[in-house]
Structure formats: C-alpha cells, structure tokens
Amino acid sequence: MALFARLLKALNSEAAPWQIALAIVLGMIIGLTPLVSVHNLLILFLVLVLRVNLAAFLASWAGFSVLALAIDPLMMMLGDSLLSAPSLQSIWTTLYNQQWARLMQFNNTLTLGSLVISLLIAPVLFVVSRLLVVQYRQRVMVYVNKLKIVQAFKASKIFSIYQKLEG
C-alpha cells in the first residue's frame, strides 16, 4: 500500500517526467544489485545530488528488491557465464589485478550478473518510464483522480500520514 502511495504521489506531483524516470532507473539498479556494494554508494550519491524524485526512487528500490529475490539465480547464472567465458579471461584477469575493480567485487557472480542486467535495462527503462509518465499525466491522471477508489484512498489516514512524512 505504501509502495502504491509513493508511486501515485510521484506520478501526480509536479516533478518532471525525467526526474521520475531516472529515479525509477536508479531504484532499479540499487534494488537488483547487492545492497552492500561500492557502486551503490555512487547510485546513492546520484540520487541525492540529482533532482530525481525520491518517492519514485524509494518505490522503485522496493519493487525491484522484491523482483531480485525471484531473478537472483538468473543473474548469478549470467555472472557465472560471463566470468567463465574464455574470450573474456584476459579482461577479467586485468580487472582482478586492479584494486578499484576488486573493490567493486566484479568477480562475484551475483554482483556482475545483476549489474550487467541493470545497466542493460537502464536506458530502455528510462525511455519507457518517461514515456509512461507523460502518457499517464496526459491521459490517465485526470481519469484516475476522478475514480472513487482513488479519492477514498487520498482521503485515508495512510495517505495523509504519508504526505506528512514526505513533508
């Protein structure tokens, strides 16, 4: 419910579509990849420094964290096949001997697999999210706001508490 409220608030806010789309992308990366990773410190820095929508970021992070539980084996399989690919061995060996790369834990199957999937999805997700936000606002938002269930939800205690918390 809180996740839905966050998303609804973000979509209905005055935030630019790119701010919501980028927030969803950054939330996706931090959600899919292992939380305690150096690259997530960079994601957190971007979230705080760029004017991305925090509500959308939190909603995306939570949503993709749940998705990660299901697709972890798939991401580990990808990482495994990449790290064991004979044609890539020289690259991995070079990286293995670089301190920054070891700090990134590139040689972990889950870290590499999830990061590669996240980065591959990121541009597509950004474009699609931005398009959906624009389309939502133009076509759906007015209609949705008129729905009794949404009006009831907006009148509920949860939504008001959430709004207070968000400031």
Interacting residues toward other proteins by CB under 8 A:
16, 34, 44-45, 47-51, 76, 79-80, 83-84, 89, 92-93, 96-97, 99, 102-103, 105, 107-111
4-34 core/surface letters (b: 16 or more CB in 10 A; e: else): ebbbbbbbeeebebbbbbbbbbbbbbbbbbb
Q: Cα separations (Å) of 145 from 41, 82, 84, 86, 136?
A: 37, 47, 52, 55, 11
CB of 107 to other proteins, least distance (A): 5
Pick 76 or 141: Cβ nearer other proteins: 76
Pick 59 or 68: Cβ nearer other proteins: 68
CB of 70 to other proteins, least distance (A): 16
CB of 103 to other proteins, least distance (A): 4
Pick 45 or 143: Cβ nearer other proteins: 45
At residue 147, the 3 state secondary structure works out as coil
